[in-house]
Every structure is written in structure tokens, then in C-alpha cells.
Amino acid sequence: MANWYDEEYNGTSRIGFKVRRTLFSGQSPFQKVDIIETEDFGRALLLDDAWMTSEFDEKTYHEPITHVPMAVSPSIARVLIIGGGDGGTAREVLRYPGVEHVDMVEIDGMVVEACKEFLLTIGSAWNDPRLHVHIDDGIAWVTEGKHAPYDVIIVDGADPAGPAEGLFNRAFFEGCRRCLAPNGVLTTQAESPDMMRDIHLAMIETIGQVFPVVRPYYGSVMLYPGAQWSWIFASNGVQPEDVIDGRTDEIEKTTWLYNRDVHHAMLAVPNHIRREIQK
């Protein structure tokens, strides 16, 4: 259909938006990279024709993946972001004055360059001196334990196909655990509990084989298949309910979605997932 851009999911459904204009289109060694301007959702990034983020709803993704771990981690001085090439997660992390050093490891330099040029409303913290962007393989980074330990690790990757596939397996999470400080915490995006239920459940199981604490949490991201989305929190003992008093007070004055009530509400697990976890 002319003037529409669709993500086709599983060959059986589509999520489409009317396009105003294409701002960037390229083929990197890893994937197809597009940034388009839509009628309803503002500018949006697609990787291999899958919607990654849009100006309109990006906060409903970047706030949960960032503020849930940041609100509870005893220390937040050193943060590792795997992926996150649009800069939205880094922007949220860098809002905390207690953050001293952020390594963002993104495999695809084309994503970072295109987002720096066309998606600056999302990646608005590129010039923060605490941010260190590495165009490198995040899997190798954690396997080799580069620059570890970290207080917080955030895995902000794409779907489990293409370059992000390795961000879903046990060896990767074992590497993450080795890179975490003993009291550190991890979050990862964990797909749709409805449209990608098997992948979501497999992630809970896999991460549970690596970390003693594994807790999925939920929210809605309109851009993604099913709109209901998930993240997984993991740690060696810190629980996601252990919000540190005062940590997010300043931040909550300007967040779009996140506050302490939302934090706790997101931890409610739908019955159909809870039954599987309890098996």
C-alpha cells in the first residue's frame, strides 16, 4: 500500500502507519535501518522492517526498562546498556545525578549515526560526558567482562532474530551475571506476553536458571505487536519492590509514565503467565 509502512508479524498480522516521508534508509552489515516520519507517531526507527521506537510512545518503553532497575539498585554509579542505539535508554539513565559512568554497547554504528541525525528528540543526551558509546558486540563485551563490574545492566535489544538473537540465550545472561557487582541488578526487554508468549516464557525460564531473582513486569507500548509489552528484572537478591526512598523523586516530576505506583503496578503478573511460572 503506497504511503503506509507496515511491520508484518509472523506473516499473519501487520502494524502499519501512514508515512509522511522517509528520512533515512540504509543497509548496514547487520540489518536494514529506516527512520521515517509518520502521521500519528512522529518519527520512528525500524530495524529489518520491525518498529523499534517512535517519538509518540517511546517513553512507555524507555521509562520502564530504565527506572525499575534504577529505583532499586543499591548503587547506580556504573551502568551498562547493551543495544539502545536510539539513545532513549541512555537519556533516562543519565537523568540520575548518582550515575558516574555509562557504557553503551551497540553493535550497529549505522543505527547510532542515523538516530543522532534524525531522532534527537529521543536520544537527547549524546553529549553527556558520562556516556561512553562503543560500537561493539554486546555479547562479546559481557563474555569478556570488559570494564566490569557494573551496578546496573540494561539490555535494550531488538527481537530475537538478526543481530539481537544472542541476547536471549543462557550464555549471554551468565556473562551479564559475571559482569554485575554482587548487589547489581539487570533488566532486559522481554517481548510481548501475548503475541510472543513462548519467547517471553522461555526468557523467564532461561534467566531464572542464571539469577536467583527473576521477575517479569508489564506495560503497554502501542508500537509493538500486541501492544502489551514486558521486561524482566533479575538480580542476586535485590527484589524489584525494594524501591529506595527518594531515588526517583526528582525524576518523577517530569516522567511521562513512571512513578512509584506505576512501578509496583507493573510487577503484577497476568494469571496465564503466573500459572506457567508456578508449574
Bridge partner residues of 21 (DSSP):
37
Q: Cβ of residue 155: shortest distance to ligand SPD, in angstroms?
A: 9
**Which grid coordinates are listed for 30?**
547487520
Q: Please work out the total of residues on this chain that contact ligand SPD, with binding judged by CB under 6 A.
A: 13
Beta-bridged to residue 234, according to DSSP, are 186, 214
Q: Could you give the 3-state DSSP secondary structure of residue 269?
A: coil
Instruction: Provide the minimum distance between the beta carbon of 261 and ligand SPD in the complex, in angstroms, as a whole number.
Output: 24
Determine contact, residues 138/85, Cβ cutoff 8 Å.
no
**Given 156, 177, 216, 247, the residue binding ligand SPD (CB under 6 A):** 156
Question: Between 42 and 61, how does the x/- string for binding to ligand SPD read (CB under 6 A)?
Answer: --------x-xx-------x
Give the whole-angstrom CA distance, residue 267 versus residue 251: 20
Catalytic residue among 128, 156, 159, 198: 156
Task: Please state the φ and ψ torsions of residue 96, each to the nearest 5 degrees.
Answer: -85, 120
Residue 263's φ and ψ, nearest 5 degrees, are -50, -50
For ligand SPD, which residue has the nearest CB?
53
> In the bound complex, what is the minimum distance in angstroms from residue 164's beta carbon to ligand SPD?
8
Q: Which cell is 231 given?
A: 521486561
Q: Strand 180-189 to strand 150-156: parallel, antiparallel, or no bridges (unpaired)? A: parallel
Among 42, 69, 88, 240, binds ligand SPD (CB under 6 A): 88
Helix or strand holding residue 265 (H, E):
helix 260-266
Residue 189 sits in the site that holds ligand SPD (CB under 6 A): yes
Using the contact rule CB under 6 A, the part of the chain among 106-114, 134-142, 153-161, 237-245 near ligand SPD is 153-161
Minimum CB distance to ligand SPD smaller for 50 or for 105? 50
Q: Which stretch binds ligand SPD (CB under 6 A): 23-31, 74-82, 137-145, 154-162?
A: 154-162
The window from 29-37, 85-93, 171-179, 230-238 that contacts ligand SPD (CB under 6 A) reads: 85-93
Residue 158 touching ligand SPD (CB under 6 A): yes
Annotation marks residue 128 as catalytic: no
- Sign (positive/negative) of CA torsion 204, 54, 267, 213? positive
86: number of CA atoms within 13 Å, CB side?
Answer: 27
Of the candidate spans 10-18, 80-88, 138-146, 206-214, the one that interacts with ligand SPD by CB under 6 A turns out to be: 80-88
User: Residue 227 belongs to what H/E stretch?
Assistant: none
**Residue carrying C-alpha cell 543519565:** 94
Please return the burial class of 162, using the count of CB atoms within 10 Å of its CB with bins 0-12, 13-18 and 19+: middle
Question: Which residues from 92-151 bind ligand SPD, rule CB under 6 A?
Answer: none
Residues that bind ligand SPD (CB under 6 A): 50, 52-53, 61, 84, 86, 88-89, 156, 158-159, 189, 224
**Would you name the residues annotated as active-site residues?**
156
